Amino acid sequence: MDTLNVVIADDHPIVLVGVRELIERDARFRVMGDATCSNELVALLESEPVDLVITDFNMPGDSPYGDGLKLVEYLTRHFPKVRIVVLTMISNPLILTRLHELGVLAVIQKNQLHDEIQAMLKAIARGNPVRSNGPQPTSVMDDGADLDERFTRLSPKEHEILRLFVSGQSVNEIARGLNRSAKTISTQKISAMRKLEVSSDQDLLTYCLERNLFN
């Protein structure tokens, strides 16, 4: 096979160095550059012939390309021939499902980075399907309830708190605006997250924004 050109994107230098080292061990792949933010990643893709992007799910900075699902959607739309591998610590099945729906080649959990990167490179080089040992994507229906049913579990107060949180307000700001304690707001936010079956703020924001729940 021809040598495949690879670009790596992650804001953690140790991850960049580690992934680069793994790729450079295999002569069938060539690292064309690395990026520490979405802007740098897109600039590399616009300037270099790239076959494979390995990018972190969470990227820093205020970029018009965003990060997470927004960035992946941009990449798949504007660079349809580039294969995308996502590095993440997120295990939310809804997020994983959406990434696979967008056509990413693989989602690699960072706590299994070394083994999964090597397995992925071997699979690509041999033309085999890329498999992941991380959490498998499942549909909303597979989780036992559809999105509408989950959302109806929210109380009016939980609904309002999530709406304000997704709009960009912190727990303390919401508490001041609603004249409640920050502890009360935090408790209700956590309760809402349990009902929606998300485990982190990043998952919550992605879940709500991706499905336009508060538009």
Q: What is the pLDDT of residues 69-80, one digit of tens each?
A: 889 989 999 999
Domain boundaries 4-126, corresponding CATH code: 3.40.50.2300
Evaluate if residue 82 carries a pLDDT over 80.
Answer: yes
Query: 61 versus 39: which is more confidently predicted?
Result: 39
pLDDT band at 148 (very low <50, low <70, confident <90, very high): low
CATH topology of domain 144-210: Arc Repressor Mutant, subunit A (1.10.10)
Q: What is d(CA 171, CA 189) in angstroms, rounded to the nearest whole number?
A: 9
Evaluate if residue 142 carries a pLDDT over 50.
Answer: no
pLDDT at residue 38, as a whole number: 92
Query: 178 versus 146: which is more confidently predicted?
Result: 178
pLDDT at residue 41, as a whole number: 95
Q: What is d(CA 104, CA 98) in angstroms, rounded to the nearest whole number?
A: 9
pLDDT in tens, 31-48: 999 999 999 999 999 998
pLDDT at residue 54, as a whole number: 95
Task: List Cβ neighbours of 206 (8 Å cut-off, separation of 6 or more).
Answer: 68, 69, 92, 95
pLDDT band at 199 (very low <50, low <70, confident <90, very high): confident
Domain(s) labelled CATH 1.10.10.10 in the chain stretch across 144-210
Question: Two tokens at 150?
Answer: 């989950």
pLDDT at residue 140, as a whole number: 38
Place of tokens 């609603």: 178
Evaluate if residue 215 carries a pLDDT over 80.
Answer: no
pLDDT at residue 75, as a whole number: 95
The mean pLDDT of 10-27, rounded to a whole number, is 89
Q: What is d(CA 127, CA 120) in angstroms, rounded to the nearest whole number?
A: 10
Percent of the chain at pLDDT above 70?
84
Evaluate if residue 119 carries a pLDDT over 80.
Answer: yes
**Cβ proximity of 90 and 57 under 8 Å:** yes
SS (H, E, C) the chain: CCCEEEEEECCCHHHHHHHHHHHHCCCCEEEEEEECCHHHHHHHHHHCCCCEEEEECCCCCCCCCCCHHHHHHHHHHHCCCCEEEEEECCCCHHHHHHHHHCCCCEEEEHHHHHHHHHHHHHHHHHCCCCCCCCCCCCCCHHHCCCHHHHHHCCCHHHHHHHHHHHCCCCHHHHHHHHCCCHHHHHHHHHHHHHHHCCCCHHHHHHHHHHCCCCC
Place of tokens 């792949």: 29
